[in-house]
Amino acid sequence: MRLFFALWPSPVEQQQWQHAVAPLVQPFGGLPQRSENLHLTLAFLGEVSGDRINQLIALGNDLPREPIRLRLDRIECWKAAGIACLRPSETPPALERLARRLHGSLEADGFKTEPRGFKPHITVVRRVGMSLPALPLWPVPEWQVQKIALVRSRLSELGPQYDVMQEWALSPVPVIPA
């Protein structure tokens, strides 16, 4: 089965982002992603045999759960990938640490991951045939990430269908007493 690890938003967040980007990406054409498919990939594994799922779950259990907050302040078009994506201009150190640890653990356990470097993004449109300078998004969607997910991807003519197989809650932001 085709698997990946991702930061997974709530349905409300997915709908808010889709609503916010729709007028900006409309001129790009292409194939806008359904709101329920919006996510931020941490590591794409490709085809994995079903008997290795428990190993991936054990690996997920050991990941750091530091709070992560993202400012999704821009839309970029990546011509080579043919996508438009929602991105943070700055990657929080906690997210860098999580991605590094995940990729390190996957490699140590003999899983092959995408060789392209980790560049956090949420694909909002596929099959975009143009490249444009980054567009700022205002108001900036602020994402307090709630969970990491291990997700199965099934490809069909209607586009990919994603099923969350296992999820891990990130720690809440500590409340600093006044």
Q: Which residues bind ligand 2AM (CB under 6 A)?
A: 4, 41, 44, 81, 83, 114, 123, 153
From the CB of 6, what's the least distance to ligand 2AM, in Å?
7
Cα separation, 70 vs 5, in Å, equals 17
From the CB of 122, what's the least distance to ligand 2AM, in Å?
8
Residue 39, both tokens = 């996510």
Cα separation, 77 vs 28, in Å, equals 9
Nearer to ligand 2AM, 117 or 139 (CB): 117
Nearer to ligand 2AM, 6 or 68 (CB): 6
Contact 98, 43 (CB under 8 A): no
From the CB of 178, what's the least distance to ligand 2AM, in Å?
40
From the CB of 92, what's the least distance to ligand 2AM, in Å?
19
Cα separation, 38 vs 22, in Å, equals 13
Contact 125, 33 (CB under 8 A): yes
Find where tokens 């992603």 sit.
Answer: 33
Residue closest to 24 by CA, chosen among 68, 96, 93, 72: 72
Burial (CB count <10 Å: 0-12, 13-18, 19+), residue 93: exposed
From the CB of 35, what's the least distance to ligand 2AM, in Å?
14
From the CB of 32, what's the least distance to ligand 2AM, in Å?
13
Cα separation, 146 vs 141, in Å, equals 15
Nearer to ligand 2AM, 75 or 83 (CB): 83
Nearer to ligand 2AM, 86 or 137 (CB): 86
Nearer to ligand 2AM, 39 or 59 (CB): 39
Nearer to ligand 2AM, 14 or 41 (CB): 41
